[in-house]
Amino acid sequence: MIMLKSTRRTFVKTLAGTAAAIAMPAVWTGARGQENRLTVGDTGGVATQAYTEGFYKPYFEQTGIEVIPVERRESPVAEVRAIVETGTYRYDFCEGIGHDVAATLEEGGFLEELDLSGETEDIPDNMKSSTFIGSNVVAFILAYRTEKFSQPLTHADVWNPEQFPGRRGLRQNARDTLQFALVADGVAPAEVSNVLADEAGWGRAFAKLDEIKSHIDVWWTSAAQTPTFLQTGELDICPTFNSRAQSVIDSGSPVGITWDGGFFMNYGWCIPKGSPKADMARDFIKYCSSPQGQAIACERMASGPCNPKALDFIEPERARILPTHPDNIANMALTDFRFWGPRQEEATNRFNEWLMA
Amino acid sequence: MSAVDQLARPVNPFRIKLSGGILLLPILAFLFIFFIYPLFSMLAISAFDRSGALTFDFYRQALGGRTWSIFLNTLSISLWVTLFTVLLSYPVAYYLATSKGRSTNLILIIVLLPFWTSALVRAFAWMLLLGRNGVINSTMVNLGITEVPADLLFNLFSVLIGMVHALMPIAVLSMLATMQNIDRNLHSAAATLGAEPGDTFWRVFFPISFPGVASAALVTFIVSMGIFVQPSLLGSPRETMVAQLIIQQIDELYNWGLAAAVSVMVLVLSVIIILIFDKLLGIASISGTQQAGGASGKAMRSITAALGTATVAVSRAIRRALPQRKVKEGAFRWVLAVPTLLIVLFLAAPTFFLVPVSFTGSSFMEWPPRGFSLQWYEAYFTSPVWREATVRSIIVALVTATASLAIGVPAAFALTRSKFKGKAIVLPYILLPIVAPNIIVALSLFYYFSSIGLVGTDIGLVIGHTVFAVPYVVLTMIATLSIYDQRLDQAAWTLGATPLTTFRLITLPMIKVGFVTSFLFAFVRSFDEVTVALFISPGLSTTLPKRMWTEAHHSVEPTLAAVSTILIIMVILVITASELLKRRGLGR
């Protein structure tokens, strides 16, 4: 028992032992070639799995270049700016960047030009720019609990609590919620930025929001909350991203999606300016426009492939629930981020003031 | 025993020379190099516009309508949180400090439970507990207590629940570190002098435990001011707090200038609050002069005396009302045990919820869990990334805690044991990392570290975490040391002990609890830190909170519940094992 004399020492030993026991199988990382490796800023979760299967693994098999995901912040603007300004490249390029975010970064001069030849030509023009190529599309749609309503809901129905009673939530976000309100007021999605071109349009949007404010039970801030709201019935009506709603539907819950009146956003690739492996990353990004890869990745994420040809590689039944399916995208519009970009701050301040009043 | 004694003490000249400068130097230098300098280089952008000209526009915006009301909001929420946290923590700490036996170990483990689950996961657990169809509402409806589910979520109530829950472990431990050193014999001494239990508590125990209360209240308040997870996930727009505003400016509106201006205001406000706190309740001053400083000290003495008299009157009245049944000796303990139990239940609730949820067959965290499945544990144990992240976080946290103690403890000695010019300003300086908005600190460290090659290194991560962890160490050690009777040291010296021997044989054993508590705080601060980790830590290796955080942004899968459960089991195993070894060692 002399060994057990010092309790502090035994405590540390126990701790170290526990740590070592878990550490054993994890020693696989470490020494590995630097030249044949690309690191990608990635937000984790299902996206990592989907991209690994759709792109990283097949690319490795084809070229011997390994693409390794590195966690990045969900909102990457501050991070990419800091990376470029300091020249400290935590990762070589980014995955899952919103087209709107890429436009902001492009404006600041923080992105590399991309190679827009080959299969990238299949990507529609509104899903790419000189510094950004979309790989998948996510839509901001209306989701609701189907067992509570006898018919599919429209945006306008959300504003009719007498006829369609139920708990309602809206996103605590100026852009998405103002767009939603104008669609509910009868504006076609593609016309929203025209309506907001003058003060009368803003007045109209806020007047519409005034009508429903007292009926909103939850102003959600994090999209990760919304599947839980729909799953547990915390909310009966909740506009959210289609992939979030789909995860609840896939688990067997009675949830429906209304595509008409929705807005979509492209998510894709970009390279921080000055990235030392920019050329390698450009080649990889070009590869990622292939329809087969996009089909595999998008099917898993319930998002729409940017390359329209990819839909041919997806089971028709599954393709039906993706945003870029012709039936779904027909009455949606791309969020006009070039319109919103310079107005974002003012819109947000005004919206937040309205919300807190 | 003589901590109540208010006599001025003789000062050992040797110690004064040693303490003031040399003991404070490491922490002052460390924080200057790795926190103050990078932070203020970053905050300078608040005073310049895009073309580089001097401007006060950002400050004008920051003082504008909405920002101002968010500031007021933040202050009022933090005040409420502090009030409830201190009120609920005191009985638990008192129970832990005055009870013996196995139950105290169990209670301590439960009190610390919230530490081992990511803040995000805890907030989600509260969302599911308090929701419309959540555990509490469905239970109440099923039992017929209410017909319609109550609105428990997305209001001030749920924000307070989430925040108080998050902060209570810190408050309980801060108080416990002080209370553990209060001599048991004081109770008996007071009783032989004719004091009733109520009187003894208010006139003897409470005043001595007060440094712990003060430091708990201060920590709670300033930590509250920087919190954003709970108000954004559990609150409505009315509960918007200033940390959310700063993050929104940086992440959504890209207005770094305004974010920096708001951060400067947060820092100024916090320093003012810390100084007021120190003046009123005396964090550093209590210990410096060993006097419950001036007017407020006198006021406190009369308040506690009044409370003591009132408590005695009430208990006498109860006794008179129940003349035939003699109130038993143990009654006082029951009065304490029942609320303690309820508070402990509150602390354990999210965990009791997460453990069964981790075995669900569904792919959502929901209640009740559907079926039984080990798939979420499989997901953890078969993923090298999760395991690697766990080990890495443990190692980083151990190194951080050790480093924080190394520079924090000497500083606490200096602050409690010597008088010097500018002492009042040292405390806010050391506490600044707690109040500085995390995202701003992370960004400024990124810019600074990349200029000296520390980005992407583990040492950079440890330095970043130590910046955040060391204030907790200093504050806890101050609370512990301030009720430590220095005359014990003097007694040792007169008996011929060298300062080192005195420290080893007298001081150290008496402040052991403070050490362990500080270590734990520092460990946990690092173990749950995500923002700096996202910016600074090596790209190819991850930490556990980073992993949980990014995972939770995609989907709040039961894997997160499983990871929390695994961590809790690990902690319980470590505590139990060391406890068993200690017992065997002692029984040898």
With helix as H, strand as E and coil as C, how does A118-172 read?
HHHHHCCHHHECCCCEEEEEEEEEEEEEHHHCCCCCCHHHHCCCCCCCCCEEEEC
The DSSP H or E segment spanning A24 is: none
Select the more confidently predicted residue: B249 or B185.
Answer: B249
Residue A92 DSSP label? S
> What's the gap in Å between the CA of B189 and the closest CA on chain A?
33
Per-residue pLDDT band at A19 (split at 50, 70, 90): very low
Q: What is the pLDDT of residues B299-340, one digit of tens each?
A: 777 887 888 888 888 877 877 776 555 555 566 667 778 889
Q: Does B147 touch chain A (CB under 8 A)?
A: no
How many Cβ atoms from other residues are within 10 Å of residue B265's Cβ? 18
Element (H, E) at A338: helix A337-340
DSSP A3-34: GG--HHHHHHHHHHHHHHHHHGGGGG-S---S
Residues 6 or more apart in contact with residue B307 via CB below 8 angstroms: B202, B206
Q: Is B154 on the interface with A (CB under 8 A)?
A: yes
Predicted pLDDT of residue A142: 98
Q: Quick check: bond before B368 cis, omega within 30?
A: yes
pLDDT of B495 higher than 70: yes
> B150 CB near a chain A CB, below 8 Å?
no
Residue B171 has pLDDT above 90, yes or no: yes
Give which of A2, A73, A95, A303 to mutate to test B binding, by max B Cβ within 10 Å: A73
Q: Which residue has the higher pLDDT, A3 or A157?
A: A157
Backbone Cα Rg of chain B: 25
Which stretches of B99-118 are DSSP H helices? 102-112
Rounded Cα–Cα distance for residues B115 and B570 (Å)? 13
Query: Which letter does DSSP use for residue A111 in this model?
Result: B
- Asked if B202 and B311 count as a contact pair (C-beta separation under 8 A), the reply is yes
* Those residues with Cβ within 8 angstroms of residue A47's Cβ, 6 or more apart along the chain or in another chain: A95, A96, A301, B554
Mean pLDDT, chain B, rounded, equals 85
The encoded tokens of residue B465 equal 């975490």
B583 touches chain A (CB under 8 A): no
> Could you please report the per-residue DSSP string of B501-547?
HHIIIIIHHHTHHHHHHHHHHHHHHHHT--HHHHHHS-TTS--HHHH
Residues 61-80 of B with CB under 8 A from A: 65-66, 69
Per CB-CB distance under 8 Å, the chain B contacts of A7 are 578, 581-582, 585
* The predicted structure's pLDDT at residue B327: 55
Instruction: Say if the Cβ atoms of A355 and B237 lie within 8 Å.
Output: yes
Domain that holds residue B223: 2-43+57-316+356-587
Query: Cβ-count burial of A318 within 10 angstroms (0-12 exposed, 13-18 middle, 19+ buried)?
Result: middle
- Which run of H or E residues covers position B163? helix B156-179
Partner residue opposite A4 with nearest CB, options B65, B132, B584: B584
Please state which of the ranges A266-280, A318-332, B272-286, B551-565 shows the lowest mean pLDDT. B272-286
Q: Any idea what DSSP says for residue A198?
A: S
Average pLDDT over residues B241-247: 94
Read off the DSSP letter of residue B51: T
- Please state the rounded mean pLDDT for residues A83-106: 95
8 Å CB contact between B243 and B75:
no
Is residue B293 over pLDDT 70? no
pLDDT tops 50 at residue A163: yes
A7, A73, A224 member nearest B585 (Cβ) = A7
**Does the pLDDT of residue B286 top 50, yes or no?**
no
Helix (H) or strand (E) holding A42: strand A37-42
Residue B450 reports pLDDT greater than 60: yes
Chain B residue closest in CA terms to A72: B534
Alpha carbons B240 and A192: distance in angstroms, whole number: 29
- Bridge pairing between strands A93-98 and A66-71: unpaired
> What pLDDT, on the 0 to 100 scale, is given for residue A173?
96
Looking at residue A59, its amino acid is Y
On average, the pLDDT of chain A sits at 90
For residue A153, what are the CA distances in angstroms to A172, A184, A227, A256?
21, 11, 18, 9
Contact: B66, A356; criterion CB under 8 Å: yes
In Å, how far is A157's CA from the nearest CA of chain B?
Answer: 22
CB B511 within 8 A of CB B481: yes
| CA angle, A143 then A149 then A151, to 5° | 85
Helix ranges, B422-457 (H): 423-435, 438-451
Lowest-confidence region among A320-324, B54-58, B476-480, B538-542: B538-542
Name the β-bridge partners of A170. A219
Percent of the residues in chain B that have a pLDDT greater than 70, as a whole number: 91
d(C-alpha B356, C-alpha B366), whole Å: 10
Class of residue B470 by CB neighbours under 10 A (exposed 0-12, middle 13-18, buried 19+): buried
DSSP-derived secondary structure letter, A97: E
Among the partner residues B251, B391, B581, nearest to A77 by beta-carbon distance: B251
- pLDDT for residue B296: 62
Judge whether residue B541 has pLDDT over 80. no
CB of B362 within 8 Å of a chain A CB? The answer is yes
Q: Does A11 sit within 8 Å of B535, measured CB to CB? A: no
Residue B327 resides in a domain: no
Any A CB within 8 A of B55 CB: no
Q: Smallest Cβ distance to A219: which of B236, B447, B584?
A: B236
| Gap between the Cα atoms of B575 and A1, Å rounded | 19
The Cα B85–Cα B347 span in angstroms is 11
Which of A200-204, B200-204, B346-350 is the most confident on average?
A200-204
CA distances from A122 to A159, A263, A271, B76, B89 (A): 40, 22, 20, 56, 63
Predicted ipTM? Answer: 0.87
Domain residue extents for chain A = 36-137+266-334, 140-263+335-356
Structural domain includes residue B263: yes
Looking at the predicted structure, is the pLDDT value of residue A24 above 90?
no
- The identity of residue A44, as a single letter, is G
Q: Among the ranges A111-125, B120-134, B199-213, B545-559, which has the highest mean pLDDT value?
A: A111-125
Here the tokens at position A161 are: 């609590």
Contact B387 A68 (CB under 8 A): no
Q: What value does the mean pLDDT take over residues B73-94?
A: 96
Residue of B nearest to A250 (CA): B363
Residue B332: per-residue pLDDT: 64
Looking up tokens 């499989």 gives B378
**Would the CB atoms of B65 and A79 count as touching at under 8 Å?**
no
pLDDT at B285: 47
Is pLDDT above 70 for A10?
A: no
| CA pair distance B578, A15, nearest whole angstrom | 9
With beta carbons under 8 A apart, name residues in chain B contacting A251: 362-364
* pLDDT reported for residue B291: 45
- Residue B360 touches partner A, C-beta closer than 8 Å: no
Out of A73, A75, A167, whose CB is closest to B252?
A: A75
CB contact under 8 A, B540 and A221: no
Q: Quick check: B554 and A47 in contact, CB under 8 A?
A: yes
How much is the CA Rg of chain A, to the nearest whole Å?
Answer: 23
Tokens matching residue B430: 């050391």
CB contact under 8 A, A87 and B552: no
* Number of domains observed in the structure of chain B: 1
Interchain contact, A78 vs B236, CB within 8 Å? no
pLDDT at A7: 45
Tell me the pLDDT tens digit for each residue of B524-537: 999 989 889 989 88
The tokens of A239 are what? 């506009």
Report pLDDT for A25. 37
CB A202 within 8 A of CB A182: no
What the block records as the tokens of A325 is 């399916």
Residue of A nearest to B575 (CA): A11
The single-letter DSSP state of residue A115 is -
Q: Is the CB of A73 less than 8 angstroms away from the CB of B534?
A: yes
B154 contacts in chain A (CB < 8 Å):
217-219
Q: How confident is the model at residue B282 (pLDDT cuts 50, 70, 90)?
A: low
Report the distance separating Cα B436 and Cα B76, nearest Å. Answer: 19
Per the DSSP assignment, residues forming a β-bridge with A38 are A67
Element spanning A113, H or E: none
Of the residues B133, B395, B540, B586, the best mutation for testing chain A's interface (the one with the most A CB atoms within 10 Å of its CB) is B540
CA B505 to chain centre: 29
Residue B266 has pLDDT above 90, yes or no: yes
Which SS3 state, helix, strand or coil, does residue A264 take? strand
| Cβ atoms B237, B347 nearer than 8 A | no
Whether A36-137+266-334 shares its CATH topology with A140-263+335-356 is answered yes
Class of domain A36-137+266-334: alpha beta
Count Cβ–Cβ pairs < 8 Å, chain A vs chain B: 188
Which residue has better confidence, A172 or A42?
A172
User: What residue in B sits closest to A167 (Cα-Cα)?
Assistant: B132
Torsion sign across C-alpha atoms B304, B310, B311, B313? positive
List all residues of chain B from 197 to 236 with a beta carbon under 8 Å from chain A.
232-233, 236
Please tell me the pTM assigned to this model.
0.89
Taking the CB of residue B299, how many other CB atoms lie within 10 A of it?
Answer: 12
Q: How far apart, in whole angstroms, are the C-alpha atoms of residue A323 and residue A334?
A: 11
Q: Give the pLDDT of residue B234.
A: 96
User: What count of other Cβ atoms lies within 10 Å of the Cβ of residue B194?
Assistant: 7
Q: Looking at residue B171, which CATH number applies to its domain?
A: 1.10.3720.10
Q: Is residue B510 assigned to a domain?
A: yes
Calculate how close chain A gets to B87, using CA atoms only, in Å. Answer: 30
How far off is chain A from B109, nearest CA to CA, in Å?
16
Question: How far apart, in whole angstroms, are the C-alpha atoms of residue A126 and residue A287?
Answer: 19
Judge whether A226 and A220 are in contact, CB under 8 Å: yes
Handedness of CA B264, B265, B270, B273 (dihedral sign): positive
Which runs of consecutive H residues, i.e. helices, occur in A24-125?
A: 45-51, 57-63, 77-86, 99-107
Chain B, residues 525-544, CB within 8 A of chain A, namely: 534-535, 539-542
Question: Do A78 and B251 make contact, defined as CB atoms within 8 angstroms?
Answer: yes
Q: Check A233 against B252: CB less than 8 A apart.
A: no
Residue at B6: amino acid letter:
Q
Of A313-317, B90-94, B147-151, least confident by mean pLDDT is: B147-151
Contact residues, chain B, for A353 at CB < 8 Å? 65-66
* pLDDT > 50? residue A30: no
Average pLDDT rounded to a whole number, residues A92-110: 96
Residue B34's pLDDT band, with cuts at 50, 70 and 90, is: very high
- Please provide the CATH number assigned to the domain covering A140-263+335-356: 3.40.190.10
Question: CB neighbours of B414 closer than 8 A, spacing ≥ 6?
Answer: B19, B20, B23, B24
- B413 residue type, one letter: F
CA dist B356 to A227, B115, B352, Å?
20, 19, 7
